[in-house]
Amino acid sequence: MAGYADTKHDHAMRLRRVEGQIRGLQRMVEDDKYCIDVLTQVSAATSALRSFALSLLEEHLAHCVAEATLKGGPEADAKVKEASDAIARLVRS
């Protein structure tokens, strides 16, 4: 079961809002809106998506990684490495 199973609905709602922001950006470009206004909205959408990712990562750490570390062994090491790699990708983006 996914670590975010209990908050799946909330995550889906957040992603729908991000989707709406992206559609708004498409409309802004189609309507030839001022560049700075478009960039401001890009920043807002990026921030919303980053916030979603951090929330999902937090749940992954609290559920999947914590559970694996309680069991120990190679699975625990793999989950910690997997989480570290995910954090590195988020930091680079």
Q: What SS3 class is residue 54? A: helix
Q: At what angle do helices 35-60 and 73-92 cross, to 10 degrees?
A: 170
How high is the pLDDT of residue 20? 97
Q: What tokens does 72 get?
A: 């120990």
Averaged confidence pLDDT in the chain: 94
Tens of pLDDT, residue by residue over 27-36, are 999 999 999 9
Which tens digit of pLDDT belongs to each residue from 49-63? Answer: 999 999 999 999 999
